[in-house]
Amino acid sequence: MTLRYVTTNEGKVREAREYLDSVEPLDYDYTEVQADTLEPIAAHGAREAFRAAGEEPVIVDDAGLFVEGLGGFPGPYSAYVEDTLGVETVGRVARAELGETPRAAFRCVVAYCDGEGFAATPEPVDLGDRRGADLSAEDRGSAATDDTVAEGSLPVKLFTGSVPGRIVEPRGDGGFGYDPIFEHDGQTLAEMRTEEKNAISHRGRALAKFAEWYAER
Ligand code: ITT
Ligand code: NA
């Protein structure tokens, strides 16, 4: 069965192909529920996309840039803020407000849904990084305000990754989105080749965990 990567972002697909050779992009615009974390957005999107894909296995990838001194802004609103303000303005505002190189992190949540349940294997929790946490129970907690979940909660498995860095003046023309203003270890993500970015990135970490788990599935 084909695994569908539900995204309209070619940059994400390019990065995912390094981990999953048989993945096919699915251009489906899932509803982005409002939340201050990425997990419920990705979980909800995966359930909706699974149904829209004719009940084929899907992964949804929700990511964002979290500037520490701005309370995590733009966080889950990163796509909207990129479209409205633009990446350079976000960088300028952060540096005007917080000084030359404010601390930030990229986070990525990969949500997998194939209609089946998951064995309840207790997973170790590492720093700010919930490895493959099965949030179906947590999601059920919000069912009262969430129509789709109330229809019957499809299990979703989540894989997260994050990378710390600093906001800098834009450099580099690789990558996509906020990559030019995010520096990690002396280089912006836009100055890295795809393999280099994957080796350290939020998405690379989430996808590596997912690919390892999926190979056993
Ligand atoms: P899909 O929802 O179709 O997957 P999107 O680009 O809207 O595409 P997100 O909602 O996950 O995806 O993206 C949130 C924002 O964060 C958006 O502005 C992206 O450009 C940006 N972003 C996501 N991953 C990134 C990365 O690895 N490097 C730089 N910016 C990234
Ligand atoms: Na999105």
Does the pLDDT value for residue 146 go beyond 60? Answer: no
Using 50, 70 and 90 to split pLDDT, how confident is the model at 22?
A: confident
Structure confidence at residue 68 (pLDDT): 98
Query: Does ipTM exceed 0.90?
Result: yes
Residue nearest to atom 25 of ligand 1 (CA): 177
Give the three-class secondary structure for 151.
Answer: coil
**Residue 128 Ramachandran class (φ > 0 left, ψ -120 to 50 alpha, else beta):** left
For the segment 61-81, the average pLDDT, to the nearest whole number, is 97
Using 50, 70 and 90 to split pLDDT, how confident is the model at 40?
A: very high
Does the pLDDT value for residue 151 go beyond 50? Answer: no
Alpha carbon of 95 to ligand 2 centroid (Å)? 25
For the segment 74-80, the average pLDDT, to the nearest whole number, is 97
**Residue 172 Ramachandran class (φ > 0 left, ψ -120 to 50 alpha, else beta):** left
Which atom of ligand 1 sits closest to the CA of residue 38?
A: 11
Residue nearest to atom 19 of ligand 1 (CA): 177
Query: Distance (Å, rounded) from C-alpha 18 to C-alpha 135?
Result: 26
Which atom of ligand 1 sits closest to the CA of residue 179?
A: 29
Lookup: tokens for 216: 């056993």
* Angle 25-28-33 from CA coordinates, rounded to 5°: 125
- Number of Cβ within 10 Å of residue 28's Cβ equals 16
Query: Distance (Å, rounded) from C-alpha 18 to C-alpha 23?
Result: 10
Q: What is the mean pLDDT of the chain?
A: 88
Structure confidence at residue 153 (pLDDT): 79
Does the pLDDT value for residue 149 go beyond 50? Answer: no
Residue nearest to atom 14 of ligand 1 (CA): 79
Lookup: tokens for 169: 């003046």
Structure confidence at residue 1 (pLDDT): 73
- Separation in Å, CA 152 to CA 44, 49, 115, 148: 12, 15, 11, 8
Residue 104 CB partners (closer than 8 Å, separation 6+): 65, 66, 67, 68, 94, 164, 165, 166, 167, 182
For the segment 129-141, the average pLDDT, to the nearest whole number, is 44
Using 50, 70 and 90 to split pLDDT, how confident is the model at 125?
A: very low
Using 50, 70 and 90 to split pLDDT, how confident is the model at 122?
A: low
All structural domains of the chain: 3-216 (3.90.950.10)
Q: For 145, phi and psi rounded to 5 degrees?
A: -110, 10
For the segment 150-164, the average pLDDT, to the nearest whole number, is 85
Contact 28, 6 (CB under 8 A): yes
Q: Which ligand is nearest to the CA of 62?
A: 1
Pocket test for ligand 1, best of 73, 168, 176 (most atoms within 8 A of CB): 176
Does the pLDDT value for residue 164 go beyond 80? Answer: yes
Structure confidence at residue 150 (pLDDT): 36
Ligand 1, pocket residues at CB < 6 Å: 7-9, 12, 61-64, 78-79, 82, 106, 175-179, 189, 201, 203
Which atom of ligand 1 sits closest to the CA of residue 62?
A: 11
Residues belonging to the active site: 62
pLDDT tens figures, 109-119: 999 999 999 87
- Number of Cβ within 10 Å of residue 170's Cβ equals 16
Does the pLDDT value for residue 29 go beyond 70? Answer: yes
Residue nearest to atom 22 of ligand 1 (CA): 177
